[in-house]
Structure 1
Amino acid sequence: MLNNLSIKRKLLIYNVLIQAFILIILSFSIYKTLHLSTLDKIETSLKVIVLDIVDDILDHKSDLLTLSFDEENEYKFKPLYIRLVEEKNFKIVNSSSFPASIPHAFNDIQKNVIHFERYESFIVGEIKFLIKKENYILQVATDYKVLNHTMEDLFYILIFIVPIVLIFSIIGGNFLIYKSFAPVEKTLQDLKNINATNLSKRLEVLNSNDEISQLSQEINNLLERLQISFEKINQFSSDASHELKTPLTIIRGEIEIALRKDRNTQEYKDTLKVCMDEVLMIQQTIDDLLFLAKNENSLQIIEEDAYIDEITFDAIKELKAYAKLKNIKIQSQIKDIFQIKGHSKLLKIAIKNILKNAISFSHENSTVLIKNYQENNQFIISIEDKGIGIAQEEQNKIFEKFYRTDKSRNKESGGTGLGMAIVEKIISSHKGKIELKSSENEGTTVKLVFIKDL
Structure 2
Amino acid sequence: MHLAEQMTDFDNIDDCKNELVDFSAKTNATFWIEDSNGYIIYPNEMSMETSTVSADQTVTFDEDESFVDMQSSGATTTNFYPITLKNSTAYTLAVQTDLFVVQQATKVLLSILPYVILMIFVLSLLCSWLYTRYITRPIVRLSRISKQMAELNFSGQCNTTREDELGCLTQNLNSLSASLSTALNDLQTANQQLKIDIEKEQALEQQRVDFFSAASHELKTPLTILKGHLAGMLNGVSGYENHTEYMERSFAVVERMEKLVKEVLYVSKVDGTKKCEYKTVDISEIFRVQIATVTDLLEKKKQSLEANIPDRLYCEAEQVQMERAIQNILVNAIRYSPSGELIHISLFEMNDMIRGEIENTGVHISGDAIPHLFDAFYRADTSRNRNTGGTGLGLYIVRKIMEMHHAKYGISNTNKGVLFWFELSCKQPIDNSIQNP
**TM-score normalised by length of structure 2:** 0.47
Instruction: Flag the structure with larger Rg.
Output: 2
